[in-house]
A and B are shown apart, each in its own frame.
Chain A
Amino acid sequence: MEKNYMKLEFSSKSSNESFARVVVAAFASQLDPTLEELSDIKTAVSEAVTNAIIHGYEYGEGVVLVEATIENNSIEIIIQDNGKGIDDIDKAMEPFYTSKPDLERSGMGFTVMETFMDELVVESNIEKGTKVRMVKKFKSLPYEE
């Protein structure tokens, strides 16, 4: 697959969560994914965007940036906010850990991203923001040099 790139910016509103995952899924569809692969991508994007809105901007105003690059048989997805950042990334990535227990969050966001995608890297700086980079390799397309 020839290299292809997209970029999307939107307000940190929860109504944009479905918008973001549908856009990335539509972009990924050119890789001829299975229904399961498509569902994995939608779920992972939804988790990262939700984190940006709830934790990055704490429901305040802000912009969420989503970029996706298709190359060969994989898609790289970057989801970035300029919010408050994460204190302790290792702690945040523990299954069931949530910094906001009063909100009935399951604490499964990063675990879902890790399980449904092939690679996950989280970078964060306090008061500067968080960048989540995920890669999914598609089984349906043979890798071409």
Chain B
Amino acid sequence: MQISMDIINDNLIVTLKGELDHHTSEDARKSIDQQYYKNNLLNIVLDLRGLSFMDSSGIGLIMGRYKNCKEERGNMSIVSTSPSIDRILKMSGLLKLMDVYSNIDEAIKD
């Protein structure tokens, strides 16, 4: 899996590409947390559009980052357009906690 990150104002924009499972989620967690705390950021936007696969390890990753954002009084949002990923997000109840956008600009604007 590939992970790339950008900072726009107080937002950490995380773009994931490839497959997010137990094996790949550990590295993603470390990289995201490192950037988030090192730069004293507030919000995280997680762009999942480049993922071809995600299982419940991805849910664990999102939940953990959501908790971190809340502790810093920030917000977490997701960018996704894939029906299979949306299905697992919906099942996990995460959509009650955060918003899903179809592109990064909309996610930042809110």
Contacts and interface: CB of A to CB of B under 8 A. Distances in A.
Contacts of B59: 106, 108
A17 B23 contact: yes
B88 A14 contact: no
A35 B19 CA distance: 16
Interface string B86-107: 0010011000000000000000
B6 interface: no
Nearest to B29: A104
Contact of B21 (A17, A39, A103, A105): A17
Interface centre among B56, B64, B91 (most CB of A within 10 A): B56
Contact of B55 (A50, A54, A103): A50
19 contacts: A15-B23, A18-B23, A39-B53, A42-B53, A43-B55, A47-B55, A47-B56, A50-B22, A50-B57, A54-B22, A103-B60, A104-B29, A104-B63, A105-B57, A106-B57, A106-B59, A106-B60, A108-B91, A115-B91
Interface residues of A, number: 24
B63 A18 contact: no
Nearest to A113: B56
A103 to B, nearest CB: 8
Interface of B: 19, 21-23, 29, 53, 55-57, 59-61, 63-64, 83-84, 88, 91-92
A76 to B, nearest CB: 20
A35 B21 CA distance: 19
Nearest to A25: B53
A109 B88 CA distance: 11
B56 A112 contact: yes
A46 B55 contact: yes
B92 A106 contact: yes
A105 to B, nearest CB: 5
8 shortest A-B CB distances, which residue pairs?
A14-B23, A106-B59, A108-B56, A106-B60, A39-B84, A104-B64, A46-B55, A50-B22
